[in-house]
Amino acid sequence: MLLCVTASHKTAGFELLERLSVHTRDVAPLIAEHHDCVQGAVVLSTCNRFEAYVDMDEPVTAAAAIGVEAALLAIEEATGVSATELEGSYRVVQGDAVAMHLFAVASGLESVVVGEGEIAGQVRRALGQARKAGTTSTELERLFQRASEAQRSVKNATALGRAGRSLVRLALDLADSRIADWAALRVLLVGTGSYAAATLAALRDHGAVDISVHSPSGRGEKFALKHGIGHTPADDFAATAARADLIITCTSVEQPVVDAALLHAGGIDADTRRLVIDLGLPRNVDPDVATVPGVTLLDLETIRLHAPLEELQATDAARAVVTEAARRFTIVGDSRAVTPGVVAMREHVFSLMEAEIARARARGDDGRTEQSLRHLVGVLLHTPTARAHELAAEGRADEYLSALSTLFGIEVPDAARSAGDARDAV
């Protein structure tokens, strides 16, 4: 069975989400090592959510408790956030509801800015990281791949993407009310990842031209050459930051790269108004920059408070697409669960048929009996085989498996039966 332990901007405060975002690469391996019944784990960590997806091979009454325990212990060991601190700030999704949840997340329906596009890439990268760590499972692979397909369907079939805006563009929209002439700004971009590229594109759309980049990891010069902007080396960082009219940070470092001391060391002019936008999680800017005269700080928490209301029509259409995708995911899963029962039934009937054919051959049959038996068995098996998949699609796979046991004494492997029981218990 699948389950998800999720903490997001809807359930947890920014400070807690920030702490959960540190050392997240260690969480999935720790979950996978917790118990033999844990088949796999994928962790999705963004600036506004932390989610652990776990695949359990265990009857549902035990699986949920073991899976949640594995996630909470792994989170505490990797990030230092205890289960007590998390209490009331997370929820557990399990069974069929996991697909619906992840598909909605991947499509941007659960984002701070509904319809934002960055989450789709983050979902794909979460699966990629789990693959590298060796913590995926067949069912988690299927879940995350179908989530990406659902996201593409939402993007192609609805106006949700056009209704929503990315956090980067929302941040710049908020900054727009403070900036008279974007072309006259001296902009310092801190970071060189995918968010930095998106930020640079958004800055240019607003009219900014005087842009330089600094990278704490040393990749700034390469990024600057690629995008045709200035490069700020480490030795000039403080002075450039102090002169900049707008600083935007979006790095993956775990310690603040901009603080009040840096600005003072660079000789900041207290008579000039400056704006600092922190898009990093963990935060890239120490809150003490807000104490520097003339400096205004916009961080993710502030940006989140200004997120626009959902456009209901686009959201409703997107949720319909997600609901249908989740339904198909469940049907395929149920069909796979009933497959061992179908195989067991066919093997049982084939064994009886082969025994009768052997007896006919012993009596000197010329092959006509074998031909007739094989035709008859094929006809007889067609309806119960088709019916098995019909029942699975209706969520009644357990009835089929129980009938096999009651009528023919055919016992289906526990894994298949447990999968059916798990879905029915949700």
Is the bond leading into 59 cis (omega within 30 degrees of zero)?
no
Q: Given a cut of 90, is residue 301 above it in pLDDT?
A: no
How confident is the model over 94-133, as pLDDT tens digits? 988 999 999 999 998 888 777 777 889 999 999 999 999 9
Q: Given a cut of 90, is residue 215 above it in pLDDT?
A: yes
- Residue 385's pLDDT is what? 82
How far is 187 from 296, CA to CA, in rounded Å? Answer: 15
Which amino acids are annotated catalytic?
Answer: 47
- Residue 374's pLDDT is what? 87
| Ramachandran region, residue 267 (left: φ > 0; alpha: ψ -120 to 50; beta: rest) | left
Residue 289 has which token pair?
A: 């920059």
Q: Identify which has the larger pLDDT, 100 or 13.
A: 100
In contact, 277 and 171? CB cutoff 8 Å: yes
Q: Given a cut of 70, is residue 164 above it in pLDDT?
A: no
- Per-residue pLDDT band at 69 (split at 50, 70, 90): very high
Q: What b/e string do you get for 325-343 counting C-beta neighbours within 10 Å, with b at 16 or more?
A: bbeebbeebbbbbbbbbbe
- Residue 163's pLDDT is what? 59
Q: How far is CA 275 from CA 32, 85, 86, 236, 248, in A?
A: 44, 33, 33, 19, 9
How confident is the model over 259-274, as pLDDT tens digits? 999 999 999 988 889 9
Helix (H, G, I), strand (E, B) or coil at 306: coil
Least confident of 46-60, 108-122, 404-418: 404-418
**Inter-residue long-range contacts of 10-17, CB under 8 Å, 24+ positions, other chains counted:** 10/110, 11/88, 11/89, 11/90, 11/91, 12/50, 12/89, 12/90, 13/89, 14/300, 14/301, 14/304, 16/81, 16/85, 16/86, 16/89, 17/47, 17/48, 17/49, 17/50, 17/281
For the entire predicted model, the pTM comes to 0.66
- Residue 313's pLDDT is what? 64
Q: Identify which has the larger pLDDT, 420 or 240.
A: 240
How far is 69 from 62, CA to CA, in rounded Å? Answer: 11
Mean pLDDT throughout 32-56?
92
Domains present along the chain, CATH in parentheses:
2-163 (3.30.460.30), 167-305 (3.40.50.720), 332-425 (no CATH)
